[in-house]
Every structure is written in C-alpha cells, then in structure tokens.
Structure 1
C-alpha cells in the first residue's frame, strides 16, 4: 500500500494509517478564498461561487490547532465492511460492495456496534490537508472529477489517489465527524477535540455524493475546509488510538 505503514482490523478488513502529530491552521484562509476567486476569474466555474463565499464564515475564523497522533481509516467504510457489523445492511446508493457506504437509518446501529470512533472535525481537516495549506492537498487549482474516488476495489487507483498521509478519497463522499454542527469556529477547541452538544453532527466532503455533476460547482465539496450540517445519508471513516508499542 504505497510503502506506508498500515494497521488492519482483520475481522472487517479496515486498513488504518497513522496520522502524525502536528499543528495546523484550520479553516478557510484568505489565501484559499483568493484561490477560489481566481478560479472564477479564469472562467473555470459553471455557476457563481458567491453563495460559497458568502457562507465562508461557517469555516472561519482560521485558527491554529494542535493534533495528537491517531489512526484513521485509509478510506471510508465500504458496503462490504459495514456488513461485517450489520450483516443485513443494504445500500441504495452503492454500485458495488467496494463502494463507500452511505448510511441513513443504519447509522446509529453501526456507531453503537463498531469498536472505533468518529474523527473530530479538526482531525479530519488536518488529515485531509496532510501538511498542505491549499484548497486540496493537490494545490490551488480547481479540483475536477478525476479527484473523485468512492469505490476502492481497484488497489492501484486507490494507491494513486492517496495524499501524503496515505489517505484516499477525502472530500469525495460526505463523511460524518464527531462534532455537533456549529457555524463558524468562534470559541472552538485548539486541541482537536470535538465540539459536543445536541443536534446534528458536521459533515466534511461530499463531491461524489452529487455525481454525475450537474454544473453547479460541486467541486467545492472537495476543498479541505468545506463543512456543512448532516442532513440525510453519510459515509463513515473510522478513527482509533495508536496501537500500543
């Protein structure tokens, strides 16, 4: 797997990567907003990005967050992997057992059954950025459909899609985080712990959930900083503590 260390949960087949400790600037930066505007000025948008920019406050203010090392699944749980815990699981959205599962009514059952946890928002964004400060880990260019990956049956394609932390498909399927949804980051923790409370959780990513794209700039969902409130279906990428030495 691209020569990177991996830990496998043998019963389910879930592969984890180590996300190293570090400090990063979380949120949609001024430079990233400028990069989105530059994409629009270059005529590389189908619609106006103004609704996205007007909602930028939901991803701000940018702040420095310290992240401790942890394990994160190489990709979201597939349909076949979910069936390890929920044998009767059926997925309306899936094309194959190797496709990222989109859970709806079964979500609570999975979270109550599996031995893992959801990543916090800060952990997710840190892992998605993988040491970069650009719109995606590939840079500030407009991401295209070639960056979508939500079927992980092809090992060569999955490996080619990995970011520098060895994680694939981040931004493709909408992935649930442990944080309750709160617009903006005022007063948010600086230690990558989740914000708790009542209400819907936060989702990151989701560009493949709207594929085939309809020309409404769905590529914006691939950006590392994009976040929104959980509404219906969601993919799941488990997190876990580092194994004992």
Structure 2
C-alpha cells in the first residue's frame, strides 16, 4: 500500500494505488491556538500600515482560537499538499471541478465532498494535527515568521514541482493555509475544555476548516492574508479542500 520515496530531497511515503505523497510528521507537543504574541504581531502589522481594512472583526473573533493550550501529538502521515483534481478523480472518476484552473490544482469539493470522504482509505486530520503540521515547530504567525504574508505565500496548483518544493515548511508540507482544508473536528468556538491530545472534537453541526486564503484569490483587499495564519480557523460553509492523514506505515 505504501512505498518509501524521496520527494524534493526529503523522505516521503507514496500511496501506491493513488500516487498521493505523504510526509511523516514527528510526534511532539506544541502550544495550540492564537497566542498573545501572535495578536501583538498582527497589531504591529496594522500599525505599520500593512493592512487594507480595520481588523476589528479579526480581533473580535480571536476567542474562537483560544485559550492557548499545550497539546500532545503522536506521529502520523499527512498529505504533502491538498488533493488535486487529478487525485480526487482516482476515487471519483466523474469528478468535475469548477474552481480549479487545471487538473494539478487543488480540488475544492462541494456536492462531492461526502462521496470523497466515504471513498478515501484515509482519514481527515484533527484540528490539532493540522495546526501542529502547519506550524512545523514554529510559534509565529506562519512558519515563515511574524511578517505579513503576501500573495507569494499562496499555492493552489502543484504542476510546478520547483515552486511546490519552495513552499514547503520544515515538515515538508506545502500550501498550508492556502485552501480551506476540512478537519475531522466539529466546529466549536474556542478551545475551552478541548483535550490535551490530538483527538478531534465530535458532535453535531459543521466541521472546522483551516486556511482559505487562495479560495478568495485574486485578493480584493479585505486582508485575506489572515487566512494564512497557522491558528486561523472557521466553520465549513460551502466548498472545502481535503488533505488526508493516515497512521504511520509499518516498516
């Protein structure tokens, strides 16, 4: 089912049947959520004139990603980037995408989402796993630091291997934050009472989505860059991308 390969100079696992490349994420602990330091970094960007609109809505919703807490994450596999149109067609041959520009672009699923999740031999990452993977050991706004991320941070097509590799974080994962990626957790505002491990929170209602800056591209000057932040979270409303996760293969 799995083949060990080297992709962009890093070890990876390729799912033999579909060709989807996964990275092995090491276990560890991290501080999950939107920290005071990150809020201060956003305020610094605002003071410097690096925003288009007032950021009151962002600060008002900061509690949705708080309180910050320490979370323990076990090792797992997660796809190098969100599933592309071509990859989705491995499981849903009749899939048509009206949002992607090419078959190598991120698949943004709406009506076909449930069908894909039922067909996949993988699971969705929990929110904790997703944020841990996005941060890749960092505590800043994005894995690149506390600066204002720009449109050059967006990656939604993976036909250019050189550009994909250049967009990877320390875990070898590309495009974290670009597409709105659906997680296993149900949407619950804030992390009060959330587990100290990476288990997803379950219940009724929409699931949580992480990222989404490329879903609004070309940007209209509404500070869409905030969707690239590692801690940004929202509830699933319309279409979503899928970045599957899996247990570590046995060697």
**Pair in the same fold by TM > 0.5:** yes
For residue 227 of structure 1, what is the aligned residue in structure 2?
233
Please give the alpha-carbon distance, in whole angstroms, between the structure 2 residues aligned to 1:48 and 1:233.
27
For residue 52 of structure 2, what is the aligned residue in structure 1?
46
Please give the alpha-carbon distance, in whole angstroms, between the structure 2 residues aligned to 1:114 and 1:224.
26
- Unaligned stretches of 5+ in structure 2? 1-6
Please give the alpha-carbon distance, in whole angstroms, between the structure 2 residues aligned to 1:12 and 1:199.
31
Shift of 1:33: 0.1
Shift of 1:12: 1.4
For residue 97 of structure 1, what is the aligned residue in structure 2?
103
2:248 to 237, 242, 245: 242
Partner of 2:124, secondary structure, is coil
For residue 218 of structure 1, what is the aligned residue in structure 2?
224
Q: Does 1:78 align with 2:84?
A: yes
Q: Provide Cα deviations, 1:44-100, integer angstroms capped at 9, x if missing partner.
A: 000011110110000000000000000000000000000000000000101000000
For residue 4 of structure 1, what is the aligned residue in structure 2?
10
Please give the alpha-carbon distance, in whole angstroms, between the structure 2 residues aligned to 1:35 and 1:124.
22
Please give the alpha-carbon distance, in whole angstroms, between the structure 2 residues aligned to 1:209 and 1:134.
23
What pairs with 1:54-133 in structure 2 (closer than 5 Å)? 54-133=60-139
What pairs with 1:92-241 in structure 2 (closer than 5 Å)? 92-241=98-247
How many residues matched?
A: 245
1:26 to 16, 25, 32: 32
- Unaligned stretches of 5+ in structure 1? none
1:35 to 33, 41, 46: 41
Please give the alpha-carbon distance, in whole angstroms, between the structure 2 residues aligned to 1:69 and 1:9.
17
Please give the alpha-carbon distance, in whole angstroms, between the structure 2 residues aligned to 1:196 and 1:181.
9
Shift of 1:2: 2.7
Partner of 1:202, secondary structure, is strand
Q: Provide Cα deviations, 1:153-200, integer angstroms capped at 9, x if missing partner.
A: 110100010000000000000000000000000000111100001110
Please give the alpha-carbon distance, in whole angstroms, between the structure 1 residues aligned to 2:29 and 2:162.
31
Please give the alpha-carbon distance, in whole angstroms, between the structure 1 residues aligned to 2:172 and 2:201.
26
Please give the alpha-carbon distance, in whole angstroms, between the structure 2 residues aligned to 1:236 and 1:86.
14
CA RMSD of aligned residues (A): 0.5
Q: Does 1:13 align with 2:45?
A: no
Shift of 1:31: 0.1
Shift of 1:3: 1.6
Partner of 1:176, secondary structure, is strand
Partner of 1:18, secondary structure, is strand
Please give the alpha-carbon distance, in whole angstroms, between the structure 1 residues aligned to 2:16 and 2:215.
28
Please give the alpha-carbon distance, in whole angstroms, between the structure 1 residues aligned to 2:202 and 2:185.
6
Please give the alpha-carbon distance, in whole angstroms, between the structure 1 residues aligned to 2:16 and 2:100.
23
